[in-house]
Structure 1
Amino acid sequence: MSLNRFRFLLRMLRFDDKRTRVQRMEVDKLAPFRDVFEFVVKKCKSNSSVGEYTTIDEMLWAFRGRCGFRQYMWNKPAKYGLKVFSWVDSRTFYVLNMEVYLGKQRPGPYEHIRQTPSPVVVRLVEPISGSNRNVTYDNWFSSIALSNDLLQNQKLTTVGTIRKNKKEIPPEFLRTKNREVHSSIFGFAKNLTTLISYVPNKNKVVLLTSTMHHSKSIDNATGEQKKPDIITFYNATKGGVDVVDEMCGNYSVARKTNRWPLTAFYLILDIIGLNSLIICSNNKEKKLVRRKWLKELATELVTPHNRTRLQGSLSKSTHINIMDILKEDVVRPPVEVPNKRKRCGLCEHQGNKSAHNCASCNIPVCGKHSKPTCLNCINME
């Protein structure tokens, strides 16, 4: 298609009924994009099995336009955008579930949905309730009450850092005076949460909780740092969402726009491309290259439309381009070369000059010694 056609389609692209949007937005901030978002999330949850270890973290879909729930996050490269809580497989980096942070919802069907840490985690991990899998998250989500609740009611173990202002933490775990660097203090609640206080540097302490580990074991591979197994496990599984962000950024379909639904659509397409690659890689012995996979995926998506277009009236160049995309053999017609007229190779004596060459032997031919042939007849020959 032409560039103007492409830009026109982007301007006209919508994901809901514009005639009823105002009424729906009075009760739902995500109304312009909710149907598409929930459809994609449903497909992500139903088309892949979850691994043993998963992680929950925040994504930031970069956006600086007008949006009622745009967030500022100083620790993200984009700083401003749409905050999305994401649940990812720590091994394959498959995106399993997502939820857009909307702040306080308006009175209506979504008013009761709280987006504080504990309810968000419970909603995200609902598909694996009772499966004895593990969930890793950072200190924004972590709390002793949440860890115990997931272990007792949903049979899920958790590992995560925890903030120092939690009232359940004993004062001894916060003190750094007279403590050796790389030393650890363990606290155990019977068959529930394990609390650890680790000193990585002088006058600094790191707190972690785990319902998966119940011992004082130290990872010998860390050498003089003497890191406990809890910290080693957390470092190995915490980066799932960050890896997804990086992979989506390397090959992204995003374009500059002032409409947040279109920004969300671009990022959803990136996640769909990544998830589809992971699913197909699991079904093949040979590892797929993501760049080649995305190109192949795009070609397969446009193939039905291109075959339909071939039935209509097209310009010569468009017809050839579509045949190239479909990877079908096509004999190209004589190419017109302006200002390079040569004498016909079949005329006697001096002959007539012509700008056309024979498609087979490539000699110049004039109108008397050539005849026009359509592409369909050329292909049949």
Structure 2
Amino acid sequence: MSRRRYENILRFMHFSDNSLCPPREHPQFDRLYKIRPLITHFAARFAEAYTPGRNICVDESLMKYKGRLGFKQYIPSKRSRYGVKVYKLCDSESGYTQAFRVYEGKDSSLDPPGCPEHMGTSGKIVWDLLFPLMNKGYHLYFDFYTSVPLFKLLYCFDTAACGTVRKNRVGFPAQLVRTRLKRGETSALRQEELLAVKYRDKKDVYLLSTIHTERSVEVSVRGRAERIRKPVCIKTYNRHMGGVDLADQLLQPYQIMRKSRAWYKKVAIYLMQIATHNAFLLCKKANPGVTLSFLQFQLQVISGFLYQDAHAPRAVMGDRVGATHFIFKIPPY
């Protein structure tokens, strides 16, 4: 394929009929209309292809984009800083993306099925991602979305949760906030199934959990000879919270996105990358004895798309120099 042909394909790549898009003032206007069929397709396939383990996590990713866009986000803690935010529900062990939601702006309506009306925006996001997995005994880990009403509600649907929380959250015990602790000390309060913990490390850490008890264990600290005691809930949280970061870390070295003013093309390619990563994890799970890197898997996928039923051409070694240094004709297929 020539470069010009590739550029033409990329130029005319569309996923929806623009002539059928409702106008902005229409109540059914969808900001993601251009890629809505792709989002719907991937969301359904991700959910049906894999059953995650008991521990799952919710976090956000940022797809780099610096063009003009109404729902572009600025997150200084992310490497990209500017871009399109994507909420993800991932398996904590493998990093498989089970569900996702593209952020559409703070004024976008969010009404997930079965969610109480009094629930805040952060709670509705968690509910929307988690809804198909409720009443199945999962353990959910997250941070920004932690609140007392959400934890109690999830517990009623047989879903335990654990996450860090801000000390000024509504319902978090003020008595625990006022408690002064030295480094390594822990204070905890329990109300029925809900556990509130304050742990002093370099700074105060606040956590809510409906999974753990107040028990602490000794852990080793990198760079220090002595062992310290840490609550089990914090140790488990650190272990199972990194599912989304694990997926992003594996995708980062193989970014295929190119500079483009069309935001929907970048988001579409980003979703295709997530789908490729999920397929790689499914391939490893189906073939546990096969050693295959993510790069090798992507090359095999590309080769499969290019040649399909035909065999990829192989170079013939010459007398002195390998034939791979010379042009060879690709047979038709």
1:89 is aligned to 91
After superposition, where does 1:129-168 map in structure 2 within 5 Å? 129-138=134-143, 140-152=144-156, 154-168=157-171
2:208 is aligned to 209
Following superposition, the deviation at residue 176 of structure 1 comes to: 5.6
The answer on whether the counterparts of 1:174 and 1:205 sit within 8 Å (CA) in structure 2 is: no
> Does the C-alpha gap of structure 1 residues 246 and 329 become closer, same or farther in structure 2, counting only changes over 3 Å?
closer
After superposition, where does 1:7-86 map in structure 2 within 5 Å? 7-21=7-21, 23=23, 26=26, 27-86=29-88
Structure 2 counterpart of 1:148, which letter? K
1:287 is aligned to 291
The answer on whether the counterparts of 1:103 and 1:115 sit within 8 Å (CA) in structure 2 is: no
Is residue 240 from structure 1 mapped to residue 233 from structure 2 by the alignment?
no
Following superposition, the deviation at residue 50 of structure 1 comes to: 1.2
3-state secondary structure, aligned to 1:149: helix
Structure 2 counterpart of 1:79, which letter? R
Residue 258 of structure 2, aligned match among 255, 265, 277:
255
CA offsets, 1:148-196, max 9 Å, x none? 10011x201101000111132223322364x221100011112x11110
The answer on whether the counterparts of 1:16 and 1:32 sit within 8 Å (CA) in structure 2 is: yes
The answer on whether the counterparts of 1:101 and 1:115 sit within 8 Å (CA) in structure 2 is: no
Following superposition, the deviation at residue 112 of structure 1 comes to: 4.5
3-state secondary structure, aligned to 2:211: coil
Instruction: State the alpha-carbon separation in 2 of the partners of residues 145 and 51 from structure 1.
Output: 25
Following superposition, the deviation at residue 252 of structure 1 comes to: 2.1
Matched pairs, number: 306
3-state secondary structure, aligned to 2:208: strand
Instruction: State the alpha-carbon separation in 2 of the partners of residues 241 and 156 from structure 1.
Output: 19
Is residue 297 from structure 1 mapped to residue 301 from structure 2 by the alignment?
yes
The answer on whether the counterparts of 2:111 and 2:124 sit within 8 Å (CA) in structure 1 is: no
2:178 is aligned to 175
CA offsets, 1:43-84, max 9 Å, x none? 000101111100000111111112121111111111111111
TM, length-normalised to structure 1? 0.75
**Higher normalized strand content (fraction of residues):** 2
TM, length-normalised to structure 2? 0.85
Which structure has the larger Rg over C-alpha atoms?
1
Following superposition, the deviation at residue 330 of structure 1 comes to: 8.4
Instruction: State the alpha-carbon separation in 1 of the partners of residues 131 and 291 from structure 2.
Output: 31
1:122 is aligned to 127
> Does the C-alpha gap of structure 1 residues 252 and 163 become closer, same or farther in structure 2, counting only changes over 3 Å?
same
Structure 1 counterpart of 2:31, which letter? K
3-state secondary structure, aligned to 1:117: helix
1:327 is aligned to 312
Q: Name stretches of at least 5 consecutive residues in structure 1 with no aligned partner.
A: 308-325, 333-374, 377-381
Q: Name stretches of at least 5 consecutive residues in structure 2 with no aligned partner.
A: 113-118, 221-225, 318-329
**Moved segments of 4+, more than 4 Å:** 110-115, 328-332
Following superposition, the deviation at residue 4 of structure 1 comes to: 1.2
Structure 1 counterpart of 2:209, which letter? S
Instruction: State the alpha-carbon separation in 2 of the partners of residues 45 and 13 from structure 1.
Output: 26
The answer on whether the counterparts of 1:105 and 1:111 sit within 8 Å (CA) in structure 2 is: no
Instruction: State the alpha-carbon separation in 1 of the partners of residues 90 and 5 from structure 2.
Output: 37
Following superposition, the deviation at residue 31 of structure 1 comes to: 0.8
Instruction: State the alpha-carbon separation in 2 of the partners of residues 103 and 84 from structure 1.
Output: 11
Asked which structure has the greater RCO (Cα within 8 Å, sep 6+), the reply is 2
Structure 1 counterpart of 2:17, which letter? D
Following superposition, the deviation at residue 270 of structure 1 comes to: 1.1
> Does the C-alpha gap of structure 1 residues 219 and 286 become closer, same or farther in structure 2, counting only changes over 3 Å?
farther
The answer on whether the counterparts of 1:194 and 1:213 sit within 8 Å (CA) in structure 2 is: yes
> Does the C-alpha gap of structure 1 residues 75 and 289 become closer, same or farther in structure 2, counting only changes over 3 Å?
same
CA RMSD of aligned residues (A): 2.4
